[in-house]
Amino acid sequence: MTIESFKELTHEQKLKELRVAGDLLGSYERNGEPNTPKIPGDIFALYDFWVYLSDDEQTVIPTRRNPLATSAE
């Protein structure tokens, strides 16, 4: 699956894909709007991209860049 095809899935299909094929890499706090607290969630490796999933499972954001690699620097 490509990142483009993942983006076209419904929210429920994205969650199912993460449960079936995703590899949980760890916790991650994503920046929100300016002057708001960071949003807790997890990062998953999925095929050749990564996916952020918020703790409430309402936000699913695929990316081509591993956000954990930049936070470790």
23-64: pLDDT as tens digits: 999 999 998 788 889 999 999 999 999 999 999 999 999 999
pTM of the complete model: 0.86
Residues whose CB is less than 8 angstroms from the CB of residue 25 and which lie 6 or more positions away in sequence, other chains included? 42, 43, 44, 45, 50, 68
pLDDT of residue 70: 60
User: Residue 26's domain spans which residues?
Assistant: 3-71
Distance CA 23, CA 53 (A): 12
Work out how many domains the chain is built from and give that number: 1
DSSP for 45-59, written as a single string: EETTEEEEEETTS--
Distance CA 6, CA 36 (A): 28
